[in-house]
Amino acid sequence: MKIARLSDLADKAACPRLVVKVGSSLLVGKEGVRRDWLEGLVAELAAARARGQEIIVVSSGAIALGAATLKLDKGGRGSLADAQAAAAVGQIALSGLWAQLLGKHGLTAAQLLLTLEDLEDRRRYLNATATLTRLLDAGAVPVINENDSVATQEIRFGDNDRLAARVAQAARASAVLLLSDVDGLYDRNPAEPGARLLTEVRGVTAEIHAMATGGSSSGMGSGGMTSKLQAAEIADLAGIALVIGSGLHAAPIARVTGQGIGTLFRPRRKAGARKAWLGGRLRLKGALTVDGGAAAALGRGSSLLAAGIVGVDGDFQRGDAVAIRDGEGRVLAHGLAEYDAAECGRLIGRQSGEQAAILGYAPRSAVVHRDQLVLL
Ligand code: GLU
For 285-344, the three-class secondary structure string (H helix, E strand, C coil) is: CEEEEECHHHHHHHHCCCCECHHHEEEEEECCCCCCEEEEECCCCCEEEEEECCCCHHHH
Which is more confidently placed, 249 or 280? 249
Report the separation in Å between the CA atom of 99 and the middle of ligand 1, taken as the mean of its atom positions: 18
184 Cβ inside 6 Å of ligand 1: no
Q: What is the mean pLDDT of residues 358-371?
A: 87
Query: Does residue 372 carry a pLDDT above 90?
Result: no
**Cα 336 to middle of ligand 1, angstroms:** 30
What is the spatial distance between Cα 18 and Cα 38, in angstroms, rounded to a whole number? 18
Q: Which residue has the higher pLDDT, 85 or 153?
A: 85
Q: Do the beta carbons of residue 237 and residue 268 sit within 8 Å? A: no
Residue 326 lies in a domain: yes
Ligand 1 centre distance from Cα of residue 115 (Å):
12
204 domain-assigned: yes
Is 1 contained in some domain?
A: no
Please work out whether the CB of residue 84 comes within 6 Å of at least one atom of ligand 1.
Answer: no
More confident: 270 or 336: 336
- pLDDT bin (cut points 50, 70, 90) of residue 216 is very low
Q: Is 319 in the same domain as 347?
A: yes
* pLDDT band of 272, cuts 50, 70, 90: confident
Co-location of 315 and 345 in the same domain = yes
Atom of ligand 1 nearest to the CA of 223: 9
Compute and round to an integer the Cα radius of gyration of the chain: 22
Let me know the angle formed at the C-alpha of 20 by 15 and 26, rounded to the nearest 5 degrees.
Answer: 150
- Does residue 82 carry a pLDDT above 90? yes
What is the 161 CA–ligand 1 centroid distance (Å)? 9
Same domain, residue pair 238 and 318:
no
CA of 255 to the centre of ligand 1 (A): 24
Collapsed DSSP state (helix, strand, coil) of residue 142: strand
Last residue in a domain, options 242, 258, 276: 276
Mean pLDDT, residues 175-202 taken together: 92
64 lines ligand 1 (CB under 6 A): yes
By percentage, how much of the chain surpasses pLDDT 70?
A: 97
Q: What integer is the mean pLDDT of 261-285? A: 86
98/142 Cα distance (integer angstroms): 10
Q: Are residues 290 and 211 in the same domain?
A: no
Least confident of 2-11, 14-23, 219-228, 261-270: 219-228
Read off φ and ψ for residue 372, nearest 5 degrees.
Answer: -110, 30
Claim to verify: residue 71 and residue 211 sit in the same structural domain:
yes
- Residue 73 falls within a domain, yes or no? yes
Task: Determine the atom of ligand 1 nearest the C-alpha atom of 94.
Answer: 4
Least confident segment among 15-19, 22-26, 55-59, 122-126: 122-126
Query: Are the beta carbons of 28 and 68 closer than 8 angstroms?
Result: yes
Which atom of ligand 1 is least distant from the CA of 66? Answer: 10
Smallest CA-to-CA distance from 238 within 204, 201, 190, 275 is with: 275
Q: Is the CB of 66 under 6 A from ligand 1?
A: no
- Counting ligand 1 atoms within 8 A of each CB, the residue from 91, 159, 167, 218 with the most, and so the one to mutate, is 159
Tell me the CATH number at 345.
Answer: 2.30.130.10
Range of the domain at 361: 284-375
Among 236, 255, 276, residue at a domain's last position = 276
Range list of β-strands (E), 45-192: 54-59, 109-114, 141-146, 175-180
Domain contains 97: yes
The answer, yes or no, to whether any atom of ligand 1 lies below 6 A from the CB of 146, is yes
Same domain, 79 and 117: yes
Segment 275-293 mean pLDDT: 89
CB atoms within 10 A of CB 210: 10
| Same domain, yes or no: 327 and 213 | no
Task: Give the pLDDT of residue 223.
Answer: 57
How far from chain centre, in Å, is Cα 155?
14
- Domain ends where: 256, 276, 296? 276
pLDDT for 364 beyond 90: no
